[in-house]
Structure 1
Amino acid sequence: MNLFDFELAGLPLHPLLVHATVVLTPLTALALAVAALWPAARRRMGLALPIAALIVAVLVPVTILAGESLADLVGRTPAVSRHESLGIMLLPWAVALLPASVVVWWMGRPSPAASRRPRWVSVTVAAIAVAVAVVTLVLVVLTGDAGARTVWEGTV
């Protein structure tokens, strides 16, 4: 038995972690997009954005590991496999929120060098951050939908 086989109040760990994942991941992705496009919001968020992204970067892989344990328990039906595949596709994008958030936060810090930074650097960072945020949002919705359908359509 490993950590990810544990139950809490008789429930497998994965469904419990999923709730945190499907709330914090999209909120962090949306905050990243807002911070990348709106300097005042970036300054107000401060280190909260990179900290949230760090939590997501840890939470998503732990949720996936717990999900793999649950899949072994319930069986790998086509619906479970689809959900698992989408979760694995989400992983690098959810982790990418962290470096993107750190760079956006760093770009927003007041410094003498910031005024000398070429505009294309800020535009490129914003475009990459928004792309990471959008792909992460799409994948978390698709993954969550596939998981919910698996449960609510009685496939598991």
Structure 2
Amino acid sequence: MSTVDGLPAHILLVHFIVVLAPLTAILAIVCSLWPAARRRLVWLVAVLAVVTLVMTPITTDAGEWLEKRVERSAAVHKHTELGDTMLYYSIALVVAAAALVFLHLRERRQAGAPTLLKAGVAVVSIVAGIASIVGVYLIGDSGATATWGDQDYSVVGPSGEDG
């Protein structure tokens, strides 16, 4: 996929990742620490993790298409390199979701799970979740820098005047 209604597909698809990955990460962390949330949200976390995993290579492929059509720069190269790491974060979220599903099913079948298993799932979920959120931030920041440069827009008021 290259364009959607004249816009590069990457700039549309990237919003799926920007929303889904942090949302999945936060829900996975919550589910790993709060059993009531796990009982209600575990399947949602699993679906979101899989959707994020599916959308990641589609988005990066669209980004590689776009990269060939924009001016080459160090910022674009950095964004491309960081963007390629998103697949690892998406895989980590799927692993965390699978661990949560395993824990959930174990708790339902055996009326509980060992504390060590709960702690292990929590560690995996927290590490994968935080890494994914940081990764999305770094990738997005590098994409914004590649697109708009290092300009500081925070000093411009709503009317366009310095503020």
Query: Structure 1 residue aligned with 2:115, among 104, 116, 119?
Result: 119
Counterpart position of 1:49: 45
Shift of 1:114: 4.8
Structure 1 contact 107–114 (Cα < 8 Å) conserved: no
Shift of 1:46: 3.3
Please tell me whether Structure 1 or Structure 2 has the larger radius of gyration of its CA atoms: 2
Shift of 1:75: 3.6
Query: Structure 1 residue aligned with 2:89, among 85, 89, 93?
Result: 93
Counterpart position of 1:61: 57
- 1:76 counterpart SS class: coil
1:23 is the counterpart of 2:19: yes
- Cα deviation 1:133-153 (Å, max 9, x = unaligned): 110110000000110111122
Q: Of Structure 1 and Structure 2, which has the larger fraction of its residues in helix?
A: 1
- 2:68 counterpart SS class: helix
Deviates more, 1:96-105 or 1:26-35: 96-105
Query: Structure 1 residue aligned with 2:7, among 11, 34, 39?
Result: 11
Counterpart position of 2:161: none
CA RMSD of aligned residues (A): 1.5
The 2-side partners of 1:24 and 1:112 are apart by 30
Shift of 1:129: 1.2
Counterpart position of 2:31: 35
Identical amino acids, percent of aligned pairs: 37
Counterpart position of 1:153: 149
- Cα deviation 1:62-117 (Å, max 9, x = unaligned): 111110110011143110111111111221111221121022122123434353x3
- Cα deviation 1:11-55 (Å, max 9, x = unaligned): 011001011110111111111111111111111113111000000
The 1-side partners of 2:69 and 2:60 are apart by 14
Counterpart position of 1:140: 136
Query: Structure 1 residue aligned with 2:72, among 76, 81, 87?
Result: 76
Amino acid at match of 1:66: A
TM-score, normalised by the number of residues in structure 1: 0.89
The 2-side partners of 1:112 and 1:91 are apart by 33
Amino acid at match of 1:47: W
Instruction: Give 5+ residue unaligned stretches, structure 1.
Output: none
The 1-side partners of 2:48 and 2:94 are apart by 8
